[in-house]
Amino acid sequence: MHTLADVGLLDGWQWCPRCRGQLELSQGRASCSSCGSVYYANSAPAVEGVLVRAGKVLLAKRAIEPRRGYWDLPGGFLEEGEEPLDGLAREFREETGLAVRPLEWLGTHLERYDNYFVLGLTWLVEADGDPRPADDAEELAWFGPDELPDELAFPHQGRLLRAWAAREQQA
């Protein structure tokens, strides 16, 4: 049995998609014993934005699994070949209807998401207009530093927003 750390997204693969030969899974890759093709279990790139207005941060309630019903920062996965800032703009527009502008790079995180890992990129953003929930956002709401949900959709968001709240309360 292979673990997530072994083969990640490739867990469960048995046959080569090119030649239908038997695959051997180990060390984050699947190798075909027939044609020699190698498939890697890479982390999936994702983006998210922190939009703050009047001392409150915008969060989206997830309408889909995983973590359906939990509050989340607007964002999502990059499409194949998509530049990160283009993906950030697209995801924010899809989930909130807002056109965002990046203000500051906040950092990266590596986190488990279902049966694979995500490499996430986070920016502080700004936008004009009123947000409207759409796509996989069931609801949007603004939260002050002392109003944050006890548990967010993903662990890194709790750490990120607690740090933001501490800075806001000191200001």
**Cis-peptide into 155, omega within 30 deg:** no
Distance, in Å, from the CA atom of 149 to the CA atom of 141, rounded to the nearest integer, reads 11
CB 21 within 8 A of CB 31: no
Give the model confidence (pLDDT) of 110-126 as tens digits: 999 988 899 999 999 99
Structure tokens at 78: 């990059």
Contacts of the segment 163-169: beta carbons below 8 A, 24+ positions apart: 164/50, 164/52, 164/57, 168/55, 168/144, 169/145
Amino acid (one-letter) located at 7 = V
Give the model confidence (pLDDT) of 98-154 as tens digits: 999 999 999 999 999 988 899 999 999 999 999 999 999 999 999 999 999 999 999
**pLDDT band per the 50, 70, 90 thresholds, residue 39:** very high
pTM of the model: 0.87
Distance, in Å, from the CA atom of 105 to the CA atom of 51, rounded to the nearest integer, reads 13
Cβ-based neighbour number of residue 79 at 10 Å:
12
Percent of the chain with pLDDT over 90: 82
- Does domain 44-170 match CATH 3.90.79.10? yes
Q: What is the dihedral of CA 10, 13, 14, 17, to 10 degrees?
A: -100
Distance, in Å, from the CA atom of 120 to the CA atom of 108, rounded to the nearest integer, reads 5
Distance, in Å, from the CA atom of 99 to the CA atom of 138, rounded to the nearest integer, reads 19
In the chain, what are the domain boundaries? 4-40, 44-170
